[in-house]
Structure 1
């Protein structure tokens, strides 16, 4: 079964999987940035993408699921904003161009998913002066049952990104508690200073 089919089935099983609200870490980390072009990888139902568009960003939202992307388009229309949706299996294809913000909020999938390779490709899509923002889990929440996944520490993820010396400024590389939940997440935030 393909990733697209798996995720389409997951989204189709309910009217809504997520809250529709933006991730708190995204809101915190984007505050103060001048809006430009943004790429939302693994956008799900579009809570982040629609919020970014409301802040004045020109947003491209990417997901493997056609069902999810239809929900993004509907949410954007309801909010009165424009979000470009693109279907990509990021293991095989990637949006063209460069962006002022490339956001990966909890980008995971089933099976053997080459997350670090995809995130290195995401780094290539950051324009000079732009931001790469990666939010990750640091473990499953209490009582959650999931297949075993290795959650690298922020330092491990930063090393896996292989940022070229002098090309990137590390703005944040740290774990933090998730607001209102008994779990820990992490943020890796980089600015491209040269290309």
Structure 2
């Protein structure tokens, strides 16, 4: 099954696979930022996009899943907010360079051989002085996946993060925070239980 079909299938049910509440780390880090324009790649069913729109941000999101977009727009309607959502693979997405105030990669995992080029591409859309927020599964997360299928995350270990790789990917950023942490996730059906995550908060130079 290709990735697009996988995500369309995951998002096909009426319930929200990862819940409707925002990611905790995104909520925490964005609280101190002045609302502007934010880009949310691999946004899925829209929980983070809708939250940021509620906080006064102008939201651009994209994902390859049509089912995800439909549920995101439904959620936005329920909360009476507007989001812009494009169906696209990261390889094909286009925005003007230096046009966003924030970029949030929340569990947005890419194949190892493409990761750096995709991260470089996305970083170009961010203005100098713009903020980068990342939460994703670390390479240590495979330990938790073995014991708990509901812990979530890619089964392809090359798609998991480590801090040094991410610092190289985003080498034109000042890293305010870059940590690997054990957390307990409670995000819908598919992010449940102990997990190992990388959390990054950085500013584009």
TM-score in terms of structure 2 length:
0.82
Are 1:15 and 2:27 matched, yes or no? no
Taking the TM superposition and a 5 Å limit, the aligned residue runs for 1:109-188 are 114-138=114-138, 139-140=141-142, 141=144, 142-144=147-149, 147-150=155-158, 151-159=160-168, 161-164=169-172, 168-179=173-184, 181-188=193-200
* C-alpha distance in 1 between matches for 2:94 and 2:87: 9
Structure ranking higher in helix proportion:
2
* C-alpha distance in 1 between matches for 2:14 and 2:156: 25
* 3-state SS of paired residue (1:94): coil
Q: CA deviation at 1:112?
A: 6.6
Any stretches of 5+ residues in structure 1 without a counterpart? none
2:83 aligns with: 83
| Greater RCO structure (CA 8 Å; 6+ sep) | 2
- Closer/same/farther in 2, CA of residues 113 and 86 from structure 1, 3 Å limit: farther
Q: How many residue pairs were aligned?
A: 187
* C-alpha distance in 1 between matches for 2:70 and 2:108: 19
Taking the TM superposition and a 5 Å limit, the aligned residue runs for 1:36-55 are 36-55=36-55
- Closer/same/farther in 2, CA of residues 52 and 3 from structure 1, 3 Å limit: same
- Closer/same/farther in 2, CA of residues 162 and 192 from structure 1, 3 Å limit: closer
2:201 aligns with: 189
